[in-house]
Amino acid sequence: MASGLEDVKEALKAISLGQTKLLSAVEAVSQRVAELEKSRDEERRRPSGSVADGVKRTTTPLAGGFTPSPASVMPPEAGTQTPPPSSASPDFKSSFSSRVVLTTYPKQIGIKPLPMEWGAADPLERGPVTVSRSPSTIGRRNAIGAHGGSYSIYYALALASRELKADHRPDFTNTEPAVNIGPFPQWADKKKIVAMDPWGHLVPWLYKDIIQKENVDLRPTIAITKAHMKLPELEESVRSGRLVPDGKVCLNEQGELNVTKIAVEPVWYLPGVAERFGIDEGTLRRSLFEHTGGMYPELITRSDIKVFLPPIGGLTVYCFGDPARMSDPSKRLALRIHDECNGSDVFCSDICTCRPYLIFGIEEAVKEAQNGGSGVVIYFRKEGRALGEVTKYRMLISSTRPTNISSLMSLDWPSDKDLQSCTTLGSAGRIEHRTTSRGPKTSRGSRICASRLSCRISFTGLALPRSTEC
């Protein structure tokens, strides 16, 4: 029996090897076909002189700029074939294989994903998030989507316009995190962190061997740096006495702040995200597929892949004080969770109150850090509860007229589901915090992740615009 099983194993290995060789041969033929097509296109574009088939073409343009050609000199395939591409097309075309991979399947030849055990405590056992479709990596992918969130589209444009080489690999020299974050017990619980990769800031170093020895394109999804923050309102806060410079957190009389910044790209563990929304994973996958224009067919065909990098904005964590205090249960943490509001946060629009709330949150975070605790502001790149500015402006217009909540909901105003905010707290190892959020569902999101909300900080003494809140 044992020898029979060994024979079967050897036969399967031989079949697998043969299929791999066949795939390599197909790729080689495809590449050759692409080269021949390029040569043919160049031949078509090469000037053929002023005489064709013995008939001289007219070169006198009409008033409208069109130069007619006698019917007798039109090629026989006219009107039945796609016109040859423009002069820029060969460069574009040469960067791709003529074989378009629309989707993949779990048992397809050449598909061997890198192991991914979401929630594993050991990062090597957990495995790297692998999403690149480069030739050396497409068969090893264990995630759907693309790096960069919403910026992945601009990356595609850079490749298409040849501003970036198709085989470009980033150089991670001297890009190590400015401070050490984690690991924490929450990183080993697949139910607590579902919208980001907690190991994302260490990818180039944790998985160096996979990158170099297996030629797999891996990229970080988190970056950590240090910076100074300077806002005009903070100078007024110092003058009024609400903030006191200490040379460590609040650096000077201008209200300049010392801050640790953590940029995070979204990485979704689909079973965990589905559970957060109270739906099954299949429904989540189908909805994401249908309502992104079918952009990611592997959401349907690759049920074995559980990780998705969605084309949405990420978040930035602004940490005031020692970052190590974020995870210390004996230290107090003041927290502001803030959705992006470009009109107010950046341009100080008077139609909403987001910037004053943000400034208040920063002030409270600084005070807590100066008192020996930690202050955190989490800034999400999702304009006004992920409405987008078009819908948000319509809502703001409507709110200036007689209205009620049902009319706002009819403008596609979704309920406030912050699945990422509590995930970020979990990644920082935090259990209990104080919040400056007004959103009633912030506390609900915290409870889902077993993060305790000790108290809310009231908004007092804020200089708010006269117009409506958003």
Full set of structural domains in the chain with CATH: 221-266+310-456 (3.40.50.10990)
pLDDT score of 8: 65
C-alpha 298/C-alpha 305 separation (Å) is 8
Amino acid occupying residue 370 = Q
Would you say residue 299 has pLDDT above 80? yes
**Residues 429 and 450 sit within 8 Å (Cβ to Cβ):** no
* Pair of tokens at residue 99: 């074989």
pLDDT score of 393: 87
Task: Please give the residue that has the higher pLDDT: either 94 or 365.
Answer: 365
Mean pLDDT of 274-278: 97
Instruction: Compute CA distances 466 → 32, 192, 348, 351, whole Å.
Output: 68, 40, 13, 8
Predicted confidence band of residue 448 (pLDDT cuts 50, 70, 90): very low
Task: Please give the residue that has the higher pLDDT: either 101 or 114.
Answer: 114
C-alpha 182/C-alpha 116 separation (Å) is 20
pLDDT in tens, 449-458: 444 555 556 5
Task: Please give the residue that has the higher pLDDT: either 1 or 142.
Answer: 142
pLDDT score of 74: 41
pLDDT score of 353: 84
pLDDT score of 351: 80
**Residues 83 and 45 sit within 8 Å (Cβ to Cβ):** no
**Residues 324 and 376 sit within 8 Å (Cβ to Cβ):** no
Mean pLDDT comparison of 80-84, 113-117, 346-350, highest-scoring range: 113-117
pLDDT score of 268: 98
**Residues 230 and 255 sit within 8 Å (Cβ to Cβ):** yes
Looking at residue 250, the DSSP 8-state letter turns out to be: B
Beta strands in 276-435 (DSSP E): 307-309, 315-320, 333-339, 374-380, 432-435
Q: Which residue is listed with tokens 């202050």? A: 375
pLDDT score of 267: 98
Task: Please give the residue that has the higher pLDDT: either 158 or 98.
Answer: 158
Predicted confidence band of residue 66 (pLDDT cuts 50, 70, 90): very low
pLDDT in tens, 349-366: 888 889 999 999 999 999
Mean pLDDT of 163-181: 93
C-alpha 429/C-alpha 197 separation (Å) is 14
Would you say residue 135 has pLDDT above 80? yes
Taking all residues of the chain, what is their mean pLDDT, rounded to a whole number? 80
Predicted confidence band of residue 161 (pLDDT cuts 50, 70, 90): very high
